[in-house]
Amino acid sequence: MGSHYDVVVVGAGFAGLYAVHKMRDELGLDVQAFEAAGGVGGTWWWNRYPGARCDFESIHYSYSFSEEIQREWEWSERFAGQPEILAYLEWVADKLDVRRAFRFNTRVTSTTWDDKAARWIICTDDGATCTARFVVSCVGGLSVAKEPEFPGSETFRGELYRTSSWPHEPVDLTGKRVAVIGTGSTGIQVIQEIANEAAELTVFQRTPNFAAPLGNEPVDLAQRRWNAEHHAELRAGSRQHMIGVPYDPPSGPALAATPDERRRIFDKYWDRGGFRLLVSTFSDVIFNQQANETIAEYIRERIRERVKDPATAALLCPTDHPYASKRPPFETGYYEAYNLPHVHLVDVRSAPIEAITPTGVRTSSKSYEFDVIILATGFDVFTRPLLNLGLRGRDGLKLEDRWANGPTSYLGVQIAGFPNLFVINGPKSAVALYNVPLATEDNVNFVAAALARAIADKTATFEATYEAEEAWGRLCEGILNLTVIPHSKGSWYMGENIPGKARAAYFFAGGAPLYRAICAEVAHVGYGGFALDRVSAPIPPMVRLDPAAALLLGSMLARGMKPLDELNLDEVRAVAESLRELQLPGPAMRVETVEAPRARIYIPDRAGPLPVIVFYHGGGWISGSLDLADAPCRRLADENGAMVVSAHYRLAPEHSFPAATDDTFAALSWVWKHVSAYGGDPGRIVIMGESAGANLAAVAAIRARDAGIPLAGQVLIYPPIDPEASTASRTEFADGPFFTRAIGEKMWGAYLGGAELTELAAPSRASSLAGLAPALVLTLELDMSRDEAEDYAGALASAGVPVRLHRFDGLFHGVFNMSAFIPRVREMYASIGEFVATCKEQITEVA
Ligand code: NA7
C-alpha cells in the first residue's frame, strides 16, 4: 500500500483548487489530489469547443474567498469565454501554489472504505494505491458526457468531435459540411459561433429551447475600476440571492400584472443576460404554469421576430415544457444563424436519428452527408462522476446499488454508508441553481469545518445518517414539486436526459440563502443528521420543514429578514402587519364594525341564527391587529357558515397585563349579550385565537366558565401557555425556524410587564380546568410552544374536558397567517371546520 494522507481530493476545477488550498493551507492537512486532465480547470479544461463561455457574469462567476484574487484579476468581458476562464483558474492555481498537490493525467479507478482502519483506499489508473482518512470529491456535476446513443459513430469517415472533449489544437471548419447534434446550452453556443465558418451547417434538434440574449460585451476600464471597488457589496448581494448573483428581486406575481406591465418587465430583462429573465421578472414564473406561460409566449414571440422563415421559427419555439423547467440557455445571434442560407434545421423529434453512417447521419426519414459531426448531447449529471470513482462504502456497499432508485445524499455533501467521504456540489446540493463558484465555496467551507471538528475531536468516522438522508431527500423532492421543473421531459435536472436513469430530484431548489442557513444550522447544532463515531445527532428543524414552509423561509432570508429578536417594537409590528401579504385573500361578505368593545363582525350570507366564532389575533401581545385577522376571519366565516367576531385588544408594552385578557374577556361577554342582534346564536359560541390570541382565548374560556357564559368550544391555534414552561420543544426550537425563544421571552416580558404570573396569563395554572368548553388544540412540529400547548391539551383531557389535539408536521409558529404560500394551512382550517361542526351538533342536540 502506498502513502497515507489526511485527505485525498479528486478534481482540479473550481472546487478542487479551493478544497486543496483550504485543507492544506488553512487546516494544515496533508493533502494529495488527483486530476484526470492534463492540467487544472475542470470543466473549463475539457470544454474547449468554439463559443464556450459562462452565462453568469464573470465578476460573479469567480472566487470570492480571497480579496487579493478578486482585486488582482480583471475580466475582459462581462461573460468570459473558456480561454479566459481557464487562464483565470491557472492563475489562481499558481497564486495558491496548489498545482504541486495534484497528480495530473491520473484517474481514480476505485475508492474503497476500510472499516477496520477507518480510512479509504484509493487506486488510480497508473497502478498506484494510497490511503486517506478523508476523501473530498470535487469531480463536478457535469463532467461525464452522455454516452452516444447512435450506433455507427466508429464507422464515420469524417471528423467526429464531442464538445466536452474538444481537441486542444484549433479545428478548421472552413469549407466543410458540419452537423451539430444537440441544442442545449452547449449546442447553442457552438452553433452561433461556427455558423459563419462552416460551408453548410445542419443542426439536429430534438427539443427546442428557450434561449435568451446573453448581453455580453467588453468590460471597459471604468467598469473594471467600479467592480474592483464594489466586490464586497456585490458578493454580499450574491450570497443573499436565491441563485447567488446580485440580481434585482422580481416584481410580484406575473398573474397579478396586466399584459402591458408584463411586457414592460419582460422587455426590461430580456437582453440583460444572466438569469435575470427568470429571477428578476416575476415571482411566480417558476412556480405557476399559467404564469410561466406568459413568459414562455413572450420568448416565442421574440424568436418569431428574429427568424425569417415561419416554419423554421415554429420549429425553434418550445411548446412541450415550461420556461426554465430545463436549464435555460443564453445566446448571441443564435436565432439569426437560421436566417443564413447555408444553415439548416432538422427536427429529429419527428424523425429520430437512427445511426451515424460512414458518410454522415441517418434519421428515420433521410440520410445526410457531412465532413464533420459535433456531438453536443449533454452529460450524465451528478451521479456518473461519483459512480466512476468506483466507490465501495461500509461492508462493501456499492454506490451503484445504493443509488439504484436515484441519488441520495445529505445536503449534497455526504452519502449514508460512505463515511469520511465528502462531496462538493454533489447530487441534491444547491449547485444546479446556484452560481457555481459561490456554491463551491460554501460547500468547501462546510466540509473544511466538519473535518476540523473531526480532527479536533479525534473522530474516526463522520457520516450522514440514513434518516437524515431521507429527510433531506423529502425536502428536495417536495420543493422541486412546488416548481414547474418536474413538468419538463428529458431534462438533466430530473435525470431524464439519460435513458434508463432514475427520475428523481437531483438538486435542492430552495435557493442559496436557505441552503446556506440549513448548512449553518446543521453545523451549529453539532452536525445534526450526521453520526460522529456512529453517535448520531438529531436532524435539525430546518431539514424537517414542510417544503412550502421552507421555500417561504428561503424567500424571507433572500429579502434580508433579520431574526425577529433583533427587531425593535416598531419593526416587529411592521413584520406582523406584513404577514397580510402572505395570506390568501378572504371572501367578500358583510362586515359590521362595533366601537365599544372594538370589533369587526363578519357575517356570511346564510340563514341564521348563525353559530359564532370569537377570534383573537396573534402577534405576541405586542403586535397584530384586526387587519391582520381580516382574511382569516373571512375564511373562517365562509368555511364554517359562522358569524366571526374579531375582537380588538390593547397591546403591550403600552398596555401590559391584564389589559389584553380583560379586553378579550370583555369582548366575549359583549358577544354573549349582544350577538343575537346581529343574527348570531349566543348559545353556540366558539372562542378561538392564534398564538398569543390563543393564550387569550384559553384564559377567556376559563373566565367564561367562572362567569357562567356557556361556550360551545375553544380553538387554540399554537397557544403559548406558560412563560416558565420547561419543555423539550423550547430547547429544540429555541433558534427557530422563524420564531425564536428570545423573541418569545421578549413578548412574554412585555405582556406581563413585571406582573405576577397567574392563571389569567398562564391558563395551565388555573386551580381547576374541569368544566371548560371542549377544546381543539392545534400545534406545530417545529414550534417552541408545541410541548406546552400539548401539555395543556393533556391537562384539559385529564380534567375531563373533551379535547382534540392535532399536530402538523414540518410547520413553524406563525404559519396560520401564511396561507397563500403554505398550502397545508388549509389542513388547519379543515381541522377547525370539523371541530366547529361538532360543536354545532352538540349544541343542537342539547337544544
Ligand atoms: P443538455 O442541456 O443536456 O443538452 C443536450 C442536447 O442534446 C439537447 O438538445 C438534447 O435534446 C440533445 N440530445 C441528447 N441526446 C439526443 C439524441 N439521442 N438525439 C437527439 N438529440 C439529443 O447539455 P448541454 O451540454 O447543452 O448543457 C449542459 C449544461 O452545461 C448546461 O445546462 C449548463 O449548465 C452548462 P433533448 O433536449 O434531450 O431532446
The 10s digit of each residue's pLDDT in 76-118 is 999 999 999 999 999 999 999 999 999 999 999 999 999 999 9
Strand-pairing partners, residue 31, are: 7
| Ligand 1 close to Cβ of residue 377 (< 6 A) | yes
- Axis-axis angle for helices 231-239, 221-229 (nearest 10): 70
- CA–CA distance, 490 with 495 (Å, rounded to integer): 8
CB 580 within 8 A of CB 631: yes
- CA–CA distance, 755 with 621 (Å, rounded to integer): 14
Look over the chain and give the mean of its residue pLDDT values, rounded to a whole number.
96
Residue 197 scores a pLDDT above 50: yes
Task: Give how far Cα 418 sits from Cα of 363, 408, 429, Å.
Answer: 44, 12, 17
**Structure confidence by residue, pLDDT tens digits, 442-460:** 999 999 999 999 999 999 9
pLDDT at 95: 98
pLDDT mean over 240-249: 95
pLDDT at 841: 56
Shortest-distance Cα residue to atom 26 of ligand 1: 184
Shortest-distance Cα residue to atom 10 of ligand 1: 182
Of the candidates 326, 549, 556, the one whose C-alpha atom is nearest the C-alpha of residue 433 is 326
pLDDT at 148: 86
Output phi, psi for 263, to 5 deg: -60, -45
Ligand 1, atom nearest to 164 Cα: 25
| Ligand 1 close to Cβ of residue 187 (< 6 A) | yes
C-alpha count within 13 angstroms, C-beta hemisphere, residue 278? 27
pLDDT at 843: 44
Residue 744 scores a pLDDT above 70: yes
pLDDT at 272: 86
Ligand 1 centroid – CA 419 distance (Å): 34
> Which of 272-281, 607-616, 834-843 shows the lowest mean pLDDT across its residues?
834-843
User: 639-649: buried (b, 16+ CB within 10 Å) or exposed (e) per residue?
Assistant: bbbbbbbbbbb
Q: DSSP of 784-838, one letter per residue?
A: TTHHHHHHHHHHHHHTT--EEEEEETT--TTGGG-TTT-TTHHHHHHHHHHHHHH
- CA–CA distance, 109 with 284 (Å, rounded to integer): 45
**Structure confidence by residue, pLDDT tens digits, 510-554:** 999 999 999 999 999 999 999 999 999 999 999 999 999 999 999
Task: Give how far Cα 5 sits from Cα of 8, 136, 514, Å.
Answer: 7, 12, 34
Residues whose CB is less than 8 angstroms from the CB of residue 448 and which lie 6 or more positions away in sequence, other chains included: 19, 22, 23, 26, 27
| Ligand 1 close to Cβ of residue 327 (< 6 A) | yes
| Ligand 1 close to Cβ of residue 324 (< 6 A) | no
| Ligand 1 close to Cβ of residue 712 (< 6 A) | no
Of the candidates 162, 138, 197, 199, the one whose C-alpha atom is nearest the C-alpha of residue 48 is 162
26 residue type, one letter: E
C-alpha count within 13 angstroms, C-beta hemisphere, residue 114? 15
| Maximum separation of any 2 CA atoms in the chain, in Å | 98
| Ligand 1 close to Cβ of residue 425 (< 6 A) | no
Residue 232 scores a pLDDT above 50: yes
Ligand 1, atom nearest to 150 Cα: 18
Strands ordered across the beta sheet of 530-532: 462-464, 530-532, 535-536
pLDDT at 2: 87
Q: Say what percent of the chain tops pLDDT 70.
A: 99
| Ligand 1 close to Cβ of residue 353 (< 6 A) | yes
Ligand 1 centroid – CA 497 distance (Å): 7
pLDDT mean over 127-142: 98
CB 508 within 8 A of CB 412: yes
Residue 410 scores a pLDDT above 70: yes
| Ligand 1 close to Cβ of residue 497 (< 6 A) | yes
Shortest-distance Cα residue to atom 20 of ligand 1: 206
Give 23's DSSP letter: I
Phi-psi region of 51 (alpha: psi -120 to 50; beta: other; left: phi over 0): left
**Structure confidence by residue, pLDDT tens digits, 280-320:** 999 999 999 999 999 999 999 999 999 999 999 999 999 99
- CA–CA distance, 431 with 434 (Å, rounded to integer): 5
Burial class (CB in 10 A: 0-12, 13-18, 19+), 4: middle
pLDDT mean over 47-60: 97
Which of 46, 48, 185, 364 for a ligand 1 pocket mutation test, highest count of atoms within 8 Å of Cβ?
185
C-alpha count within 13 angstroms, C-beta hemisphere, residue 304? 11
| Ligand 1 close to Cβ of residue 190 (< 6 A) | no
Which of 214, 497, 503, 507 for a ligand 1 pocket mutation test, highest count of atoms within 8 Å of Cβ?
497
Kindly give the residue spans of alpha helices, DSSP state H, lying in 675-711.
692-707
The grid coordinates of residue 633 equal 376571519
Ligand 1 centroid – CA 147 distance (Å): 12
| Ligand 1 close to Cβ of residue 183 (< 6 A) | yes
- CA–CA distance, 297 with 319 (Å, rounded to integer): 9
E-strand ranges in 497-584 read: 530-532, 535-536
Does an H or E element contain 160, and which?
Answer: strand 159-162
Task: Give how far Cα 506 sits from Cα of 261, 346, 420, 491, Å.
Answer: 35, 31, 22, 11
pLDDT mean over 244-263: 96
Does an H or E element contain 541, and which?
Answer: none
| Ligand 1 close to Cβ of residue 490 (< 6 A) | yes
Ligand 1 centroid – CA 327 distance (Å): 10
Ligand 1 centroid – CA 344 distance (Å): 18
